[in-house]
Homo-oligomer: A and B are copies of this chain.
Amino acid sequence: MAKLAKTSSRHSVEPGVELIGDAETLNSYSNVLSGVVKLTKSLSDGRQQIVGLRFAPDFLGQPFKAKSAIHAEAATTVSLCSFPKAAIEQMMKQSPELEHRLLRQTLNELDEAREWMVTLGCKTAPEKVASFLLMIARNIDSGVGPAARSARFDLPLTRAGISDFLGITNETVSRQLTRLRMDGVIRIENSRRVTVDDISRLEQRCGGRWPRRNRPIYET
């Protein structure tokens, strides 16, 4: 990494700034030092889907030009540590270690993507919103491990952003959030800042742990 340090540079990026343009190729690789980057894909009629979120200390960049267009944008204020693309690619040829780490990260991303496919395809709107909050809590809140009982964090996305992530409308997101608030599962101040006093209660709303309806699965 010593050799890389010479060519690295740091940036701070404001929300809304485009990091990887559609059908473009990123001119550098970066590490996310803080903040959240959202990866989106869109249909030509404007509908769009968030296909991933990158938190610190994730890696950011298109290793080989993917055939599909992807779009990366700062969701919050983001600070990045960037390296020239050529430098990284050069290093990858020389040291298998770097490629190995890249493979690891890619496998992780694949895993996450599939996890969210389950959420998108199977879960109801209330479950989707709860699952989103839980995912954010686990990634944002001061790195408190999965064993934490409570959490407090800022949502990195607007309601519309969350709706793009979950495949539902922003109105539905809003309604489900207020329902969670009414039920005492979460508290909301600022409409961005959320507190979860009892994480297990949130987990119960994520679906999948019990039959969806109040009747046994196996009937006579």
Contact = CB atoms under 8 A, between A and B. Distances in A.
A117 B118 contact: no
Contacts of A96: 96, 99
Interface string A34-52: 0000010111111111011
Contacts of A52: 114
A45 B114 contact: no
Contacts of A49: 117-118, 121-122
A110 to B, nearest CB: 5
Interface string A103-136: 1101101110111111011110000000000000
20 contacts: A41-B115, A41-B117, A43-B123, A43-B208, A45-B208, A46-B211, A47-B123, A48-B122, A49-B118, A51-B118, A64-B104, A70-B114, A99-B103, A102-B103, A109-B110, A113-B113, A117-B120, A121-B164, A121-B166, A122-B167
